[in-house]
């Protein structure tokens, strides 16, 4: 795409890690890394404030002035941490919005980290990307237009492109650096941007929390009758209060169906991610039994990428909920 060429050039300056990172990155290097740099030059490639002794960890610890351990970073995961062994750091920079890190891990392939929180790994991105796309698009007979909020890596776009009924895809991403980084390091995902149906909007939106009422209100008003929203909805093991809140809000706003589903994603907190899937008033939507099964969808399987997680069985199974979840989130009771 013609427009893309200019965008690529513009961002090349950011991609080399000097554009936004200049002197401040020098200051940010922790002492453990400086030591490693002095004694073992081959370790320099692993140098980042979230990487200690060759491991990236989502729950970073540091000491305050009194020498007491202070924990920060992923507030969604207090008291536990998931760590990945780092082979090499491929990219690090600060964008206008966040810290962007890409590293090659020993066991999960390349990893994209934003503000210290794992966004995706090559090994398990399939579960999240395929589910958040096909749970909604396989629940309506012939989806036509899709809006993606966030998802600048392009993985969701790549999944949407399996659906030939779709004629227009808008994507709103705040951070151009995420898109450019994905084009360089996750070309299979970023290939989603090459679909001619995609219309990219880069920029900030109204300042709204993505899990609060005004945001859901706006989306509900944007949808046609019987239109569908699928939103990421936390971990059933850790965040039942948040899930409860989100379902309450959505039951109030969406007058169709509101359901909770989940999938296994090893590198997300507690190894699972939830989805809240809602429909507006209009033609009834039965989320639990895909009306538009992917196995019968022409072209969906003869696509560039193989489906790795999603299938119609997994679609149905995702709505089965553990007893503790139904008890803690009363709105999920049968």
Binding site for a second copy (CB under 8 A): 39, 53-55, 57, 59, 61, 67, 69, 71, 78-85, 105-108, 123-124, 126-127, 236-238, 262, 264-266, 270-272, 306-311, 313-314, 316-318, 320-324, 327
Q: Using the minimum distance from each CB to a second copy, give the nearer residue, 84 or 160.
A: 84
Q: Using the minimum distance from each CB to a second copy, give the nearer residue, 23 or 320.
A: 320
From the CB of 15, what's the least distance to a second copy, in Å?
26
From the CB of 229, what's the least distance to a second copy, in Å?
23
Angstrom distance (rounded) from CA 119 to CA 128: 10
Q: Using the minimum distance from each CB to a second copy, give the nearer residue, 152 or 269.
A: 269
Q: Using the minimum distance from each CB to a second copy, give the nearer residue, 177 or 321.
A: 321
- 3-class secondary-structure state, position 152: coil
Angstrom distance (rounded) from CA 199 to CA 246: 29
Q: Using the minimum distance from each CB to a second copy, give the nearer residue, 149 or 307.
A: 307
From the CB of 71, what's the least distance to a second copy, in Å?
8
Asked if 288 contacts 138 with a C-beta cutoff of 8 angstroms, the reply is: no
What is the Cβ-side half-sphere exposure of residue 43, based on CA atoms within 13 angstroms?
16
Tokens (6 digits) for 134: 């096909």
From the CB of 260, what's the least distance to a second copy, in Å?
13
From the CB of 292, what's the least distance to a second copy, in Å?
17
Angstrom distance (rounded) from CA 301 to CA 323: 35
Question: For helices 2-15 and 176-185, what crossing angle results, to 10°?
Answer: 90
Q: Using the minimum distance from each CB to a second copy, give the nearer residue, 214 or 322.
A: 322
- Bridge partner residues of 147 (DSSP): 170
- Closest to 128 in 3D by CA, of 275, 321, 288: 275
Asked if 92 contacts 20 with a C-beta cutoff of 8 angstroms, the reply is: no
Angstrom distance (rounded) from CA 278 to CA 136: 9
Q: Using the minimum distance from each CB to a second copy, give the nearer residue, 179 or 321.
A: 321
From the CB of 72, what's the least distance to a second copy, in Å?
13
Asked if 37 contacts 96 with a C-beta cutoff of 8 angstroms, the reply is: no
From the CB of 238, what's the least distance to a second copy, in Å?
8
Q: Using the minimum distance from each CB to a second copy, give the nearer residue, 168 or 327.
A: 327
From the CB of 282, what's the least distance to a second copy, in Å?
28
What is the Cβ-side half-sphere exposure of residue 15, based on CA atoms within 13 angstroms?
15
Tokens (6 digits) for 318: 């995702």
Tokens (6 digits) for 117: 């929180």
Angstrom distance (rounded) from CA 123 to CA 182: 15
Angstrom distance (rounded) from CA 259 to CA 158: 25
């Amino acid at each position: 795409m013609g427009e893309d060429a200019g965008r690529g050039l513009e961002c090349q300056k950011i991609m080399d890690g000097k554009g936004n990172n200049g002197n401040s990155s020098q200051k940010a290097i922790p002492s453990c890394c400086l030591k490693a740099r002095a004694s073992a030059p081959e370790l320099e490639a692993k140098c980042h404030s979230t990487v200690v002794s060759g491991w990236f960890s989502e729950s970073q610890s540091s000491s305050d002035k009194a020498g007491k351990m202070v924990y920060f970073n992923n507030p969604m995961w207090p008291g536990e941490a998931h760590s990945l062994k780092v082979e090499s750091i491929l990219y690090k920079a600060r964008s206008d919005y966040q810290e962007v890190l890409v590293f090659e891990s020993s066991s999960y392939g390349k990893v994209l980290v934003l503000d210290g929180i794992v966004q995706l790994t090559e090994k398990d991105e399939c579960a999240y990307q395929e589910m958040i796309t096909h749970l909604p698009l396989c629940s309506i007979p012939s989806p036509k237009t899709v809006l993606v909020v966030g998802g600048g890596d392009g993985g969701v776009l790549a999944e949407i492109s399996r659906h030939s009924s779709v004629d227009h895809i808008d994507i709103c991403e705040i951070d151009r650096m995420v898109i450019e980084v994905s084009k360089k390091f996750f070309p299979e995902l970023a290939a989603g941007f090459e679909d001619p149906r995609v219309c990219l909007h880069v920029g900030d939106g109204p300042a709204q929390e993505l899990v609060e009422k005004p945001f859901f209100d706006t989306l509900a008003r944007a949808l046609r009758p019987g239109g569908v929203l699928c939103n990421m909805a936390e971990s059933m093991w850790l965040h039942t209060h948040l899930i409860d809140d989100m379902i309450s809000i959505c039951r109030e706003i969406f007058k169709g169906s509101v359901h909770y589903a989940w999938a296994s994603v090893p590198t997300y907190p507690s190894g699972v991610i939830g989805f809240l899937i809602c429909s507006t008033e209009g033609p009834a939507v039965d989320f639990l039994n895909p009306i538009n099964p992917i196995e019968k969808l022409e072209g969906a399987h003869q696509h560039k990428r193989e489906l790795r997680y999603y299938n119609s069985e997994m679609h149905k199974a995702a709505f089965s909920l553990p007893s503790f979840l139904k008890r803690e989130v009363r709105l999920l009771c049968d």
